[in-house]
Chain A
Amino acid sequence: MELQSVLPILGGLISVVGALFLLLAAIGIIRMPDVYNRMQTGTKATTLGSILFLLGIGIAEPHWLGKIVLLIMFIVFTNPISSHVLARAAHFRGIPLAEGTVRDCLADDEAGEQGVCE
Chain B
Amino acid sequence: MANLLFYVALSIALLAVVISFFRLLIGPSVADRTVALDGMTIISISVITAAAFFLGRVIYIDVALVYALISFLGVIAIARFIERGL
Partner of B75 from the list A20, A35, A85 (CB cut-off 8 Å) is A85
Task: Specify which chain A residues have a CB less than 8 angstroms from the CB of B79 in the assembled complex.
Answer: 82, 85-86, 88-89
Interface contact tally, CB-CB below 8 A: 170
Q: Is the CB of A26 within 8 A of B43?
A: yes
Task: Specify which chain B residues have a CB less than 8 angstroms from the CB of A35 in the assembled complex.
Answer: 29, 31-32, 35
- Encoded as 1 (CB less than 8 Å from any A CB) or 0, chain B from 2 to 16 comes to 111110111011011
Q: Does A106 contact B (CB under 8 A)?
A: no
Number of residues on chain B facing chain A (CB within 8 A): 49
Task: Specify which chain B residues have a CB less than 8 angstroms from the CB of A89 in the assembled complex.
Answer: 31, 79-80, 82-83
Q: B interface vs A, CB < 8 Å?
A: 1-6, 8-10, 12-13, 15-17, 19-20, 22-23, 29, 31-32, 34-36, 38-39, 42-43, 45-46, 49-50, 52-53, 58, 61-62, 64-65, 68-69, 72, 75-76, 78-80, 82-83
20 intermolecular pairs with C-beta atoms under 8 Å apart? A15-B50, A19-B10, A22-B12, A22-B13, A22-B46, A26-B20, A29-B19, A29-B39, A35-B32, A42-B20, A46-B42, A46-B43, A57-B52, A64-B58, A81-B76, A86-B38, A86-B78, A88-B83, A93-B83, A95-B31
